[in-house]
Amino acid sequence: MISKQARNRQIDWSLCFIADSEASTGRNILWLIEEAVAGGATIVQLRGKKWTVREFLTIGVEAVELLRPKGIPLIINDRTDIALACRADGVHLGQDDLPVEAARRILGLGRLIGLSVNTPEEARKAEDVGADYMGVGPVFPTLSKPDLPPLLGLECLRRIRAETRLPILAIGGITPARAAEVIAAGADGLAVISAIASAVSPRQASTEFIEAIGKVRKNRPN
């Protein structure tokens, strides 16, 4: 089942900036978000593994206040309670987090629920349990997450695409130079952490991703 949020709201899945507290290299996380969005990021996911609950909530509220006037959805990583409390647009869950069905009971049909998947079987189940979109990866090697599941590569991404109608955000070692092949393999958009967060200019880095995605779509046969 696809939720009312996904059915009734047009989401631009092109570029999700994952604003990760540990990848921020000491820079203000809200500044990073603002710069990424100014460069073209269309979604923001907020992740703070080492934040206290109160810190996460405070930053979540500030991020909502920053992004909502711009029409940019804010997704909270892992914490359904924080997503509800700060009135974010949704939550992104891992395979070991709260089940999608339970998160849906908490958040209702008005918010997005994403799920990380690594296999075609997980993709089929994600659609069955009512996820709105999938984070699929890691496609390529990355240092952004220490506890990586197996690398997918482009061929497994294609197999996952064949299993689901849900939007796919591909993640893991993706650069603007690799955007074309990842989109061609079936991704609806790219989820990026360090390539934006660690860039000298996060704004320019986001722009480079958006330009690369635009070129792929412009050259795609109708």
Reading the block at residue 164, the tokens are 């689901």
Query: Of 24, 116, 194, 206, which residue is the catalytic one?
Result: 116
Give, to the nearest 10 degrees, the angle between helix 202-219 and helix 29-38: 40
Burial 110-119 (b: 16+ CB within 10 A, else e): ebbbbbbbbb
- How many other C-beta atoms can be found within 10 angstroms of the C-beta atom of residue 99? 12
Can 215 be counted among the known catalytic residues? no
Dihedral sign computed on CA atoms, order 50, 202, 31, 79:
negative
26: left (phi over 0), alpha (psi -120 to 50) or beta: left
Query: Of 14, 47, 79, 144, which residue is the catalytic one?
Result: 47
Query: Of 104, 145, 161, 203, which residue is the catalytic one?
Result: 145
User: Which among 76, 74, 172 has a CA at the least distance from the CA of 118?
Assistant: 172
DSSP 22-40: GGSTTS-HHHHHHHHHHTT
Can 47 be counted among the known catalytic residues? yes
* First and final C-alpha spacing in the chain: 28
Angle formed at CA 185 by CA 192 and CA 204, multiple of 5 degrees: 30
Can 24 be counted among the known catalytic residues? no
Catalytic positions: 47, 116, 145
